[in-house]
Structure 1
Amino acid sequence: MKYNIVNRGDETSVRTMERFHELAAECGLKLDPENPDIVVSIGGDGTMLHAFHLYADKLDQTSFVGIHTGHLGFYADWKPMELETLLRHMATESAEPIRTVKYPIIEIQIVAEQGTETYLALNECTLKGVEGTLVAELRINDERFEMFRGDGICISTPTGSTGYNRSLNGAILHPSLEAVQIAEMASLNNRVYRSLGSSIVLPKHHHCDISPKKGQKILLTLDHLNMQLTDLISIRCMVADRKVSFVRYRPFPFWNRVRESFIGDIVE
């Protein structure tokens, strides 16, 4: 079993990483930053996003597992005090296929004057105007859908639906659904610009093209990555053909995570 660690860099995370390395050596696991079977994220959900993008080109061969050293996250199943249990699972099953769950991610094709580039996102992609409101045409499956004007647009995965999308009153989607959700940020509706006013969910094999008004400066984010574009022609968003794999040595139901994150204990 080959592994690598991505950590948040705070004292607790670094200490947890050092202990993990010690226990991993005792279990016969091999540190391999180039081609790991498992990438261990130590920190929070932001650390997992960073790990995902570091290994986005190796999703077919690499799985992820999260150890949270702060608040409980959607991508972190384990606590620092459970390192021995986690490593025992990893060492015991090193000769067997890794038990994983696979979650859908989104593919974003950025078409600019300089050419086309393709990216993947684990949580979300957002578009915002830098110097004012965003004005853009939305086309679904190559058919014109609406003219949007507002603060911006958020495109999220099912797991990402619990983040920025939720703050925009988008729906929370279970990650077994292969879908992409598009939510508006403070849309303006008048006689010129008309938008739906609610989030929309597109299934796999559907796509949405978002074409900003020419000449706009656009801030585009992919998870934790930001880029400013002055020559953006359009972006195409869709469910990616590939999925991300998370190690699952024990059950941790999605709706339990949602309840613990947003509701807490239910008082009778």
Structure 2
Amino acid sequence: MGPKLKIAIHNNRKPNTLKAVNYLRSGLQKSGFRFDNRHPDIVITVGGDGTLLSAFHRYAAQLDHVRFVGVHTGHLGFYTDWRDYELDHLIDALKVDSGQSVAYPLLDVTTTYKNSREQAHFLCLNESTIKRLGSTLRANVYIQDSFFESFRGDGLCVSTPTGSTAYSKSLGGAVLHPRLEALQITEIASINNRVYRTLSAPVVVASDENIVFKPSPADDYVLTVDQLTLNHRPIEKLEYRIAKERIHFARYRHMHFWDRVEEAFIGANSHEELS
């Protein structure tokens, strides 16, 4: 396939990123690659995981034929395999591309709004949260259409396996391997006392089960889908499930998931293996 690939470059505006983009674009042009921002085969993101999330939502309608490649110009990212000083090696890998990829599960989010019963549909790579502005969130939680608990607290988070290393982890959630294809619910500052009681622990839900939140009536909910924020619409119901769609990364070299976790959160210089 090689230079026949149509490539789009999606990047942030930081000086070191722009320098890398100019070098990458020049190298790809010299190698005969074509650029197509509307209908690419490969989307190369240059920046970090936030840049890749932005690219994912931009091309979410083309996931059936688009593959992503991440170049990070700052700290190590979970979705970025290449560093900015490896661009020549990346171009060489693209030249011999044979369509190889690795797929990760996505979160399907369906929001039903009150009054109009209008629905909105989103795809999510990392996590989706629901919170209230300045008030306690009250919501009934259902798993596979069965009532599970009444929640009171700051908010609720539902994450994908790859998203388990992001916001969910900071809330005390478990780190899940992407092959599990499970969803995870983590609580955000739940209220637990004699009157109100939740499980107060991360909940891992199987891939064939759905999660439903039915919040109490209010018009100050804040719904997030990855880095996107949607607010000030009364929500009747939120439904989460593993999406039919998947994101595909053009993986030219393998890095074990647990190696990514170790490098990002522990670091090779912070400990020594016991003999």
Same fold (TM over 0.5): yes
2:180 aligns to what SS in structure 1? coil
Partner of 1:40: 44
Letter of the structure 2 residue corresponding to residue 239 of structure 1: I
Q: What is residue 103 of structure 1 aligned with on the other side?
A: 104
- Of the three residues 65, 68, 79, the one matched with 2:72 is 68
CA deviation string 1:197-225 (max 9, x = no partner): 10111111210110110124111111110
Runs of 4+ in 1 over 6 A off after TM superposition: none
Q: Which residue of 2 aligns with 1:175?
A: 178
Is the counterpart of residue 126 in structure 1 residue 129 in structure 2?
A: yes
Which residue of structure 2 lines up, in the alignment, with residue 12 of structure 1?
Answer: 16
Distance 1:74 1:92 in 2: 24
Matched residue SS, 2:237: strand
| Structure 2 residue 163 is the aligned partner of structure 1 residue 148 | no
Q: CA deviation at 1:33?
A: 0.4
Counterpart residue identity of residue 66, structure 2:
T
Give the letter aligned to residue 60 of structure 2: A
Q: Could you tell me whether the CA contact under 8 Å between 1:28 and 1:91 is conserved in 2?
A: no
Q: CA deviation at 1:131?
A: 2.6
Corresponding position of 1:184: 187
Of 262, 265, 272, which aligns to 1:267?
272
TM-score by length of 2: 0.94
The aligned counterpart of 2:162 is: 159
Secondary structure of 1:176 counterpart: helix
Corresponding residue of 2:84: 80
Pick from 141, 155, 170 the counterpart of residue 138 of structure 1.
141
Paired with 1:190 and 1:68, the residues of 2 have a C-alpha distance of 45
Identical columns (%) = 42
Supply the AA of the counterpart residue of 2:122: Y
What pairs with 1:224-243 in structure 2 (closer than 5 Å)? 224-243=227-246
Aligned residue pair count? 265
Gaps of 5+ in 1: none
Equivalent position amino acid for 2:140 in 1? E
Tell me the CA shift for residue 192 of structure 1. 4.1
Within the alignment, does 1:207 sit opposite 2:182 as a pair?
A: no
Q: Give the distance between the partners of 1:223 and 1:67, measured in 2 at CA.
A: 19
